[in-house]
């Protein structure tokens, strides 16, 4: 099965040349890293948290995460965990076969990993429907393709995002990584506060990010609840935090925080974005 792009032409450019130009714009933007990474091979990154809005809004912030991925060295496979914005599909949906197409080419799903992950989990369903129109996994792929073509993905879309669900998903991921001995990086796709004034968004997001930087998913959930926060991908973030710690990560780094208002100049109603790495 080939999953066609759902948001090419809206969240990012549909023309390959224009898309590459847009990605370069993200890196060179004043809110971006400012330059391009050199390919490295340290492989200290276990997980990454990155935004998933349209590139003109969150792309410069997201570029910081991709900069570090390239600098650290590409893994064999990326597990991309995203929230379910459409309501389609199962509670936790895995696309287990085929490939994903973007204007920059196609990326294969790691079918061996996906098959083993499904066997090890009682909560993950194989379900393509949830992924068919979902943007929050798709938007990460062109950034990765800009730098390399021969990686694979495991796309997981989460409608259920409670803490217990994330513990189960994380354990299945960790068990699968260990059983197959694969080189993996996890990506949690999330935006933070939605449609609040800049000052409120920054204050709320700072408290949540502080919990993430302490690798404490329980405190993150408590703060989201106490603050009535509108962060959309807290489940994927929790999965990546739990999994990363089980895989030996012991620190997190905030690479960049910003809002849509920092890009557009309209700070009356913004969405918050952050790029964070979780490393050994």
Instruction: List, in sequence order, every residue forming a beta bridge with 196; answer none if it has no partner.
Output: 270
Q: Is 275 helix (H, G, I), strand (E, B) or coil?
A: strand
In this structure, what DSSP letter does residue 122 have? S
In sequence order, which residues have a C-beta less than 8 Å from that of residue 106 and are 6 or more positions away? 2, 99, 100
Angle, CA of 75, 123 and 151, to the nearest 5°: 15
The region that residue 14 occupies, defined by phi over 0 for left and psi between -120 and 50 for alpha, beta otherwise, is: alpha
Domain enclosing residue 214, as ranges = 16-279
CA 17 to CA 256: how far, in whole Å?
Answer: 27
Give the count of domains, the chain.
Answer: 1
Cβ–Cβ < 8 Å for 257, 205: yes
**Rg value, the chain, Cα:** 17
Length of the chain: 280
Tell me what pLDDT residue 1 has: 87
- Dihedral angle, C-alpha 143, 147, 150, 152, nearest 10 °: -30
Angle, CA of 221, 247 and 171, to the nearest 5°: 60
Which residue ranges in the chain fall short of pLDDT 50? none
| 167-220 pLDDT tens trace | 999 999 999 999 999 999 999 999 999 999 999 999 999 999 999 999 999 999
Instruction: List, in sequence order, every residue forming a beta bridge with 274; answer none if it has no partner.
Output: 257
Residue 23 belongs to a domain: yes
Tell me what pLDDT residue 111 has: 98
Q: Calculate the alpha carbon distances from 97 to 58, 200, 235 in Å.
A: 29, 42, 23
Residue 205 belongs to a domain: yes
Residue 8 belongs to a domain: no
Residue 56 belongs to a domain: yes
Angle, CA of 7, 138 and 279, to the nearest 5°: 150
Number of helices (H), then strands (E), in the chain: 11, 12
Residue 82 belongs to a domain: yes
CA 79 to CA 56: how far, in whole Å?
Answer: 25
The CATH number linked to 186 is 3.40.830.10
Residue 241 belongs to a domain: yes
- The count of other CB atoms within 10 Å of the CB of residue 6 is 17
**Long-range pairs for 261-265: beta carbons < 8 A, 24 or more residues apart:** 261/198, 262/31, 263/31, 263/56, 263/57, 263/60, 264/57
Largest CA distance in the chain: 49
Residue 266 belongs to a domain: yes
In this structure, what DSSP letter does residue 207 have? H
Strands 270-279 and 251-259: antiparallel
Residue 2 belongs to a domain: no
For the question of whether the overall pTM of this predicted structure is more than 0.95, the answer is yes
């Amino acid at each position: 099965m080939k999953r066609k792009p759902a948001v090419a032409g809206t969240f990012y450019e549909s023309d390959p040349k224009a898309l590459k130009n847009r990605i370069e714009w993200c890196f060179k933007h004043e809110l971006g890293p400012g330059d391009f990474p050199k390919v490295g091979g340290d492989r200290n990154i276990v997980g990454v948290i990155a935004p998933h809005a349209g590139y003109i809004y969150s792309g410069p912030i997201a570029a910081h995460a991709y900069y570090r991925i390239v600098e650290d060295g590409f893994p064999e496979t990326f597990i991309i965990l995203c929230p379910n914005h459409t309501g389609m599909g199962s509670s936790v949906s895995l696309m287990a076969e085929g490939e994903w197409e973007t204007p920059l080419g196609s990326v294969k799903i790691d079918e061996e990993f996906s098959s083993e992950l499904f066997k090890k989990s009682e909560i993950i369903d194989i379900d393509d429907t949830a992924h068919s129109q979902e943007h929050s996994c798709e938007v990460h792929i062109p950034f990765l393709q800009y730098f390399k073509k021969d990686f694979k993905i495991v796309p997981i879309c989460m409608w259920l995002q409670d803490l217990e669900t994330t513990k189960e998903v994380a354990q299945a991921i960790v068990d699968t990584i260990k059983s197959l001995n694969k080189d993996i990086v996890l990506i949690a796709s999330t935006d933070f506060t939605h449609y609040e004034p800049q000052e409120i968004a920054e204050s709320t997001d700072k408290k949540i990010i502080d919990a993430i930087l302490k690798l404490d998913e329980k405190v993150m959930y408590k703060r989201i609840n106490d603050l009535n926060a509108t962060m959309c991908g807290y489940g994927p973030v929790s999965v990546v935090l739990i999994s990363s710690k089980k895989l030996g990560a012991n620190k997190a780094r905030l690479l960049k925080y910003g809002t849509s208002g920092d890009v557009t100049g309209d700070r009356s109603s913004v969405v918050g974005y952050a790029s964070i790495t979780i490393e050994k």
